[in-house]
Chains A and B, each alone.
Chain A
C-alpha cells in the first residue's frame, strides 16, 4: 500500500470519528464503544534481518445514532516497522480497513441494511465487499438476503470494473431445519489472469446449505457448492453430531472436493498447481469420526480422519485429546497427540501438544508446547518444536498488558526466538443514563 492511500484512509477514519463525536456532543443519543490493541513484535526473518513491527488495531461501534436502529461499525489496523522492513515489498508501513459500515435495522423480522465495507456470510458467499448487504425474514419461515458491490480481494490488476453480487433465499422451521439456496457472481475488469480470460466469467457459484435437527440428539449441518462456469460440483461438506448420550457424543464428517472446479477463482498463482506436486484434476474425499467423552471439567476425545485421493492415494490422521477447564476459566490444561499416516514422506509425521493456563486475581500465565516429529527428516531436522511462555496483567478494568516469548526450532529456523508485547484498552462513552446492557 502506498503512503498516499494510507493517508487517505487515515483522513477518512479521522473524519468519521470527528463526525460521530460531533454528533454525540450535539446532545443526540449515541453509545460509543470499542477496543484498541497495540502489538510490538520482535522476530528474525529467514534472511536474518532483525524485525520489530508495531501494530495498532482499532475497532469501535457507535450505536443509537439518532435512532436505536442506526449504528456504525469500524475495524482496521496500521503497521509500522521500527527496525528492518518486515514485508516482502520493503514498505515500512501497511494498513487495512477491515470493515466500516453503517447498519440500519428494521423494527421487526431481523431486517437490516449494511452500507460500506462489510463481511457477507450468506450460503456460498463469505465475502468482504464495498457495497450493500440487505436481509430480512419473511412470512411463514422464509428469509431473503441480497448483496452487491466491489469485492475486497488481493488485486492482480486494479479494482476498476470488478463487481460481485448475489443472494440467498431460505426456509426454516425452528428447532427442526433451516435450508437455503444461494447464488454468487463475480466479474473482473481485467481480461487476462494467468493467461485466462476472466473478464466475464471470473466466478459464478450456486449452493445449498442445510441444518437439520430431527431429534434433540441428532444434528446434521453442511453445504454443497456448485461451479456454474465449469458446470460441476466444487465441494460437499457435511457434519453429523449424535448425542450427548450419557456424556458421550459422536461427530461424523464427510467432505468431497474437486480441485479443478474448486480452485478456479484464485487471485494468486499459489493455487495453480504444478502437476508434479499436486494433480490439478485431483479429487479428495474425507471421512472422519470423533468420539467425545465429557466429564464436567474434563473432556476426553479420540478422532480419526481418512483422506481418500483419487490420484495420490490415501492418508489417515488419528489421535486423541485430553482437556481440562474450570468455569469460569481460572485453570485450563490440554494434552494431545495425533499421527498422520500417508503414502508419501511428507504425509508421515506425529504431532504433540501440551498447554497450561492459570489465572490469578489480576494476572494470568500460559505455557504452550507444540512439536512435530517427521518420519523422514526435512532439511536435516527430525523434530520441529516451539515453546511459548505468556503472561497477562489487568492494569485496570479497561486496560490489560500481556507479553510472550516463543522459542522454536524447525527445518527453516535454527533456534528462533520471538517476542511480543500487547496492550489492550477498552473504551466506551454512553450518552444514555443507563449505559450499555
Chain B
C-alpha cells in the first residue's frame, strides 16, 4: 500500500494553518461566561426578555424533545445557564439512578422513565426502539444485559 502519511500530514497542517488564519480574522467576541441575569423560573421562557433567535430556546413542554438539536449546534449557549453535571445527570456512560428518582421534587420537568418503567420499557421498545438507542445503544446498558443476553 502506498504510504499516504506525508500527504496526509501536509493536508492536516495546511488545514490547521487555514483555520488559524480564519480564526485570527474572525474578530468576533465570545459569548459571556454566564447568563448575566439569574434565571429564577423553573422552566425559563427566554422570550420574556428576548425577541431574537434566543426565543427559540424557550423551555416549553416540548423542549426536552428538541433540546438535542440546539446542543448539537451550539452547546456553548446551554453552558451559559447549565453546569456540565446538568447534562451528565441523564447523558452518562453509566447511570444507576433514574433521573425521575433523582428529581422527585421537580414534577414539571420532562424526565424519562417515570413510574413503572419495567413494564413500560417493553412497550416503548416496540413502539420506537430508536428512542432508547441514543442513551442505551453504546453506553449505559449494563442493566440491559441482565435480561437481554
Contacts and interface: CB of A to CB of B under 8 A. Distances in A.
Q: For the side of the interface on A, what is the size category? A: 35 or more
Nearest to A71: B33
Nearest to B95: A96
Interface residues of B, number: 83
Contacts, number: 296
B8 interface: no
Interface stretch (A8-16, A22-30, A119-127): A119-127
Nearest to A437: B34
B93 A139 contact: no
Interface string B24-51: 0111111101100000111100000001
Contact of B94 (A88, A96, A334): A96
A39 B61 contact: no
Contacts of A267: 137-139, 141
A65 interface: no
A408 B98 CA distance: 16
14 contacts: A87-B142, A89-B142, A128-B92, A151-B138, A219-B56, A221-B56, A222-B69, A251-B62, A271-B132, A273-B129, A370-B114, A378-B119, A402-B105, A437-B34
Interface of A: 35, 37, 39, 41, 53, 55, 57, 59, 61, 73, 75, 79, 86-89, 94, 96, 98-99, 105-112, 119, 121-123, 125-126, 128, 136-139, 142, 144, 151-154, 170, 174-175, 178, 180, 209, 211, 213, 216, 219, 221-223, 235, 239, 241, 249, 251, 253, 257, 259, 262-263, 265-271, 273, 277-278, 284, 286, 290, 292, 299, 301, 307, 315, 317, 321, 323, 325, 327-329, 332, 334, 340, 342, 344, 346-347, 349, 353, 355-357, 364, 366, 368, 370-372, 378, 384-386, 388, 390-392, 402, 404, 406, 408, 410-413, 418, 420, 422, 437
Instruction: List the 6 shortest-distance A-B pairs measured between CB atoms, nearest first.
Output: A410-B116, A370-B115, A59-B85, A138-B22, A270-B148, A88-B146
